[in-house]
Chains A and B, each alone.
Chain A
Amino acid sequence: MSEKLSPGEARAPGHSYQEAIKKDASEPPASFLTESYEFLGDADIPYSNYTSKDYADAEFEKMWPKVWQMACREEHIAETGDYQVYDIGELSVIVTRTESMQIKAYYNACMHRGTALKSPGDNGFCESFRCPFHGWVYSLEGELIDLPEDWDFPHVKGDSHNLREVLVDTWGGFVFVNFDPNAEALSEYLGVLPEHFKDFNIDDRYIETHVCKRLPVNWKAAEEAFMEAYHVKETHAGGAEFSEPVTTYDVFPENVNRFIHTVGSLNPRMPKAPSQQELMQMLWGRRGPADGTCPVVPEGMTARDVYARVVQQQLGASYDQDFSGYSTAQTLDSIEYFLFPNLFIFPGLTLPMVYRFRPDKDDPDYSYFDLYFLRPKHPEKQPPPPPEPLMLDIEDSYTQSEGLGFLGAVYDQDTDNMAAQTRGFKTSAKSGQTLGNYQEVRARHLQQRVGDYLKK
């Protein structure tokens, strides 16, 4: 490393992610070639940001009620009367589809004596919202339409006791809510996301798998575990030499960051580069079907391009669709976008995940992780209804979910780290986390955005 470099200027040896994908046979999306790294400082992140109840309470008071957050997918409320309850801390909102097929969101509390109208995390169908306590009834439009024994309530007049609305908007098939009536528009909040996702049709996807797991760690540390590929070599590859993925880390104003890392490209750190055929065999051994024969890489082509075509054909056959329009990078790479404060979207073809993290409302050492697999909808066939989430407790393995495939064991490896990190936070002789300037910039971005809200 040159001593002339300023903090944050240093990069891993060898080519960059952008240089790697420029060698692909197919043109990657322009947004993949964009670099948007910014040095955000190198001070330690206090452990108290994760462990302090006061800090968590400040987040619940000043941050969560002010940010756009994903309540559900549109398919969760496809028909009139479908509803989904979204809970964050003490706040709870009912998101529903009205008679006119509008999406509306209401505070989950009866306007009589405050009883929650629906259970936490509930979803289902109703023709109206009827309080189980005294039977006050609200239309799907939120109007109080039946007040039992109304002779006793002359002071309930007009629309004074309609359900109170919460801001709601949609993008990419996601339904977002914001408890702040003066919040900026969702389209502003999303920043570069719509532009960067224009090649992915993320709204034309359906939920194939949904797992909800309780995690033994603060919600921010849980997110940070997925924000860098620095851990891949040790956590997921047993420390194997040259298993570091080639990765770009980017931060976009104000609420978006991302990493993208290659799959199936040469690791520039290898002292002797393998041939493209050797690379193909390595890829095939890890990810190819057990009963298939490893393809031969034609002269002049790369293993990565050949493998991408194979994956497109395999997934195309599985989902009865044509994926040949996806570039090699879109097909193979781990493409992870983050929308502050708690949504991760992988728009790539082979890694189709969406993550949502939420804090435990009572204990900063625990959080909840919703993990979805989203697959492209068939242009003509009706997708299956959204699956019931598989609920997993801390000790339950992700491998209980068949839909996660080989990734179930990978997520278990991440969970082990989380519990160890929570324990270490409490016993460490130093007061905070030390972050890499480049590879861990997204964790710092998250911390700074939380800090922005807490200072307000």
Chain B
Amino acid sequence: MSEIIHEPLALNSSEVLELEGESVLLCNSGGSHFAIRNQCTHQNSPLAGGRVRNGFISCPLHGVRFDLSTGEPRGTLTRVPVKTYGVRDEDGMIVISN
């Protein structure tokens, strides 16, 4: 298992990190942090830059929404969930683990 430690993000924002060679998107939705793989399961484009709201991220390319807590997609463009990572708060810092 590997971990990254990162400062908390601004509300409803996201940031790209790297964890063991994988591009990971850390998101703050409504004050809660989530980490998902930075690749849409629809057409494999990066999710970075997608809008984060209400526990979901919208892919910037075609708008597929993913539930940040489960990785499950909405709609019919893809049925494949995006990979999620463990996230915990330690002394005010965000720890992401695979």
Contacts and interface: CB of A to CB of B under 8 A. Distances in A.
A126 B60 CA distance: 7
B98 interface: no
B54 A126 contact: no
**Which of A83, A125, A130: most chain B CB closer than 10 A?**
A125
Given A81-B51, A385-B54, A125 B76 contact: no
B51 A125 contact: yes
Nearest to A81: B51
Interface stretch (A63-71, A116-124, A196-204, A287-295): A116-124
Contact of B77 (A125, A132, A385): A132
Given A132-B42, A132-B43, A127 B60 contact: yes
Interface residues of A, number: 14
A201 B77 CA distance: 38
A130 B62 contact: yes
Given A132-B42, A132-B43, A122 B74 contact: yes
A251 to B, nearest CB: 40
Interface in A377-396: 385
Interface in B48-69: 51, 53-54, 56, 58, 60-65
B74 to A, nearest CB: 7
B75 interface: yes
A130 to B, nearest CB: 6
A126 B58 contact: yes
A119 B76 contact: yes
Contacts of A120: 75-76
Nearest 8 Cβ contacts at the A-B interface: A119-B75, A126-B63, A119-B76, A125-B51, A122-B75, A125-B58, A385-B54, A124-B65
Interface of B: 42-43, 51, 53-54, 56, 58, 60-65, 74-77
20 contacts: A83-B63, A118-B63, A119-B77, A122-B63, A122-B74, A122-B75, A124-B63, A124-B64, A124-B75, A125-B51, A125-B53, A125-B58, A125-B63, A126-B60, A126-B62, A126-B63, A127-B60, A130-B62, A385-B53, A385-B54
